């Protein structure tokens, strides 16, 4: 059984690492937050003092970090993976970053005879805890097959979608659809509430039809309870849409709806709501309509 290194133990990374420990994998962990490292050590992991040390003690290295700059630093920085990694190691970056960054890091790691997969996830904290994430993987098929069982301990759906960078392309498409879906829910439910309809009854009436969606069923109960505790923060969704818009620009395509939802999220972030769950997009519409969608 492979020895796994795990770097990045935040909202998503911590429960993902825990699921690997529960599955019986030996694990070395590192995070800049030492308190969360201690939690994983109590669960059976071994502490490392740097990303380089994790790399030197692992056969498979998983990173789960906020954005491209953090992944670049962890892989190529002063105490980065590249300085401790052994030939034949597999690096799986499960962060949601720019596809171009995934490709560039892969090229550098290949010089050390290390193969990288980009494997971003969807499902937020609840599915990270359950081990039922959707995992979208880019990279060589033979490497994917080597680590598919590891990924399967963290996700219910593990799909190889193409070469390196394709995982993050798929994640950008996912994040556009999720953002627009949640924005549509907010706009529609504020319309219903402002017109005097019971939003809970409206939700129950439409959820079985074409307007029904995973996003609707995940976010409407939270909205009705006024619960915006983050499963996935608005500020992180802004990051994903930034990467999506930058990629769209590189490809020369229009992303009109994405741009509008990005403006809404930025307005909420400026209003101090960036750490709220992205279901809180509805509060932009609630504020402008002077109405709340609640039970």
159 is catalytic: no
User: Helices marked H in the chain — which ranges?
Assistant: 13-22, 34-42, 51-56, 68-76, 99-110, 124-130, 141-152, 166-194, 199-206, 214-225, 234-251, 256-268, 282-289
Q: Which residue has the tokens 């490392």?
A: 48
Work out whether the CA dihedral 206, 212, 215, 221 comes out positive or negative: positive
- Residue 7: partners with Cβ closer than 8 Å, 6 or more residues away: 29, 30, 31, 51, 54, 61, 62, 63, 64, 65, 74, 81
Answer for the pair 113, 87: CB distance below 8 angstroms, yes or no: yes
Among residues 38, 111, 148, 171, which one is catalytic?
171
Stated as kind and residue range, the H or E segment containing 27 is: strand 26-30
CA distance 198 to 138: 44
How far is the CA of 16 from the CAs of 13, 37, 132, 190, in angstroms?
5, 13, 10, 35
CA distance 119 to 63: 10
Answer for the pair 63, 7: CB distance below 8 angstroms, yes or no: yes
CA distance 112 to 87: 6
Active site residues per annotation: 171
């Amino acid at each position: 059984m492979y020895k796994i290194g795990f770097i990045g133990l935040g909202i998503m990374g911590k429960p993902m690492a825990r699921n690997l420990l529960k599955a019986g994998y030996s694990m070395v962990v590192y995070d800049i937050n030492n308190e969360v490292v201690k939690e994983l050590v109590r669960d059976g992991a071994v502490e490392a003092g740097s990303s380089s040390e994790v790399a030197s003690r692992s056969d498979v290295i998983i990173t789960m970090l906020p954005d491209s700059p953090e992944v670049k630093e962890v892989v190529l920085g002063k105490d980065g993976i590249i300085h401790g990694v052994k030939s034949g190691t597999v690096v799986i970056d499960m962060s949601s970053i720019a596809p171009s960054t995934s490709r560039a890091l892969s090229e550098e790691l290949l010089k050390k005879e290390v193969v990288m997969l980009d494997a971003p996830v969807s499902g937020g904290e609840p599915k990270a805890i359950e081990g039922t994430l959707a995992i979208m993987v880019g990279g060589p098929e033979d490497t994917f097959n080597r680590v598919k069982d590891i990924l399967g301990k963290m996700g219910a759906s593990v799909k190889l979608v193409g070469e390196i960078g394709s995982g993050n392309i798929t994640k950008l498409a996912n994040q556009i659809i999720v953002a627009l879906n949640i924005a549509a829910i907010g706009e529609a439910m504020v319309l219903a509430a402002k017109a005097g309809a019971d939003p809970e009854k409206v939700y129950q009436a439409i959820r079985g039809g074409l307007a029904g969606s995973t996003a609707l069923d995940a976010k409407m109960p939270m909205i009705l309870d006024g619960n915006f505790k983050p499963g996935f923060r608005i500020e992180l969704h802004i990051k994903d849409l930034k990467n999506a818009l930058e990629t769209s620009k590189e490809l020369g395509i229009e992303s009109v709806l994405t741009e509008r939802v990005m403006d809404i999220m930025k307005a909420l972030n400026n209003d101090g709501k960036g750490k709220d769950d992205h279901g809180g997009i509805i509060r932009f519409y609630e504020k402008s309509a002077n109405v709340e969608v609640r039970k």
